[in-house]
């Protein structure tokens, strides 16, 4: 199975490492340095997008949104009957189907955790994509993390919860780690403790509601409920929710 990957940036590189376990990956990028990097990782490279497009039945589009139209001018006429997997931010399947006529489009929205193979990837199929196409994409990416099918209209919501949340969690982890320093732990130890707590709590959250976990930890009159009470008084939960909402509104303004 041959897959052509167009765009070998940070996300393209991360996906290529997973995809090459399932198929033969050919890489095209306009930047020579990136092609050399791909070649050093054992991937086949080409300086011609047409050459990659012709020999590959699956195309993986990971270029910048502003570069999709230029890529389509180069290879769009070759798209008929191809399966196209896109991780281009903000670009709907209907637009991709226009750029690449006759193709079958599956749109993905990953997050940075693809780099540690623990991503949550949203998937929306275009009008012409088949159930077999969707299952093939899932098979190709089964080592990347969790794949969740959602209606395409919910992609903006996923962008905030799935795409932005890793940064917010890291922000909160940083605050918790510095709290440990405030209480006497060294920075490295404190950050390691917080990181492992996030991993363990995440596993709990796959099986239990957040309030159940809080109840497990918070003993009557104890230190945990004291800390939770302070956060509630300060309205921290509401501020986090409002920050996500503000981010979504920013995305809508950017899209016009």
Same domain flag for 70 and 187: no
Q: Find the domain containing 221 and state its range.
A: 158-255
Quickly state the pLDDT bin for 219 (edges 50, 70, 90): very high
Q: Of 114, 102, 24, which is closest to residue 60 (Cα–Cα)? A: 24
Give the total residue count for the chain.
256
Query: Tell me, what's the pLDDT at 254?
Result: 66
| Residue range 224-243: mean pLDDT, rounded | 95
Residue 92 structure tokens: 């709907």
Query: Tell me, what's the pLDDT at 252?
Result: 78
For residue 132, count CB atoms less than 10 angstroms from its CB and return exposed for 0-12, middle for 13-18, buried for 19 or more.
exposed
Neighbouring-strand partners of residue 147: 121
Please tell me the total count of domains within the chain: 2
Same domain flag for 126 and 18: yes
Same domain flag for 18 and 145: yes
Neighbouring residues of 16: CB distance < 8 A, sequence distance ≥ 6: 5, 8, 25, 27, 38, 41, 43
Say yes or no to pLDDT of 81 above 90: yes
Same domain flag for 196 and 214: yes
CATH code at 12? 3.40.50.720
pLDDT one-digit tens code per residue, 90-104:
899 999 999 999 999
| Residue range 14-31: mean pLDDT, rounded | 96
Domain boundary among 115, 150, 185: 150
Same domain flag for 171 and 226: yes
Quickly state the pLDDT bin for 27 (edges 50, 70, 90): very high
| Residue range 186-198: mean pLDDT, rounded | 97
Same domain flag for 19 and 69: yes
Say yes or no to pLDDT of 232 above 90: yes
Domain boundary among 123, 150, 177: 150
Distance CA 190, CA 179 (A): 8
Say yes or no to pLDDT of 256 above 70: no
Domain boundary among 150, 180, 205: 150
Say yes or no to pLDDT of 253 above 80: no
Query: Tell me, what's the pLDDT at 250?
Result: 81
CATH code at 181? 1.10.3730.10
User: What are the C-alpha distances in Å from 94 to residues 46, 72, 121, 125?
Assistant: 28, 14, 20, 10
In sequence order, what E strands does 104-201 have? 104-109, 119-125, 145-149
| Residue range 164-178: mean pLDDT, rounded | 95
């Amino acid at each position: 199975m041959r897959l052509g990957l167009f765009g070998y940036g940070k996300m393209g590189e991360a996906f290529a490492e997973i995809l090459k376990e399932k198929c033969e990956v050919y890489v095209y990028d306009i930047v020579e340095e990136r092609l050399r990097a791909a070649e050093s990782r054992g991937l086949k490279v080409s300086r011609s997008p047409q050459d990659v497009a012709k020999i590959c039945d699956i195309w993986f589009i990971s270029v910048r949104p502003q570069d999709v139209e230029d890529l389509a001018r180069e290879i769009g006429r070759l798209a008929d009957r191809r399966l196209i997997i896109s991780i281009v931010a903000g670009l709907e399947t209907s637009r991709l189907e226009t750029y690449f006529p006759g193709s079958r489009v599956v749109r993905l929205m990953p997050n940075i955790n693809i780099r540690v193979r623990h991503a949550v990837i949203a998937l929306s199929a275009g009008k012409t994509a088949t159930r077999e196409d969707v299952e093939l994409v899932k098979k190709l990416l089964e080592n990347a993390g969790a794949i969740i099918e959602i209606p395409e209209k919910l992609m903006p919501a996923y962008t905030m919860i799935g795409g932005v949340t890793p940064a917010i969690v890291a922000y909160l982890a940083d605050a918790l780690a510095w709290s440990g320093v405030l209480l006497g732990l060294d920075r490295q130890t404190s950050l390691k403790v917080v990181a492992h707590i996030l991993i363990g709590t995440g596993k709990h959250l796959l099986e239990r509601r957040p309030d159940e976990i809080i109840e497990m930890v918070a003993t009557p009159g104890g230190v945990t409920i004291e800390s939770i009470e302070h956060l509630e008084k300060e309205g921290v939960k509401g501020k986090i929710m409002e920050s996500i909402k503000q981010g979504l509104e920013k995305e809508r303004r950017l899209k016009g």
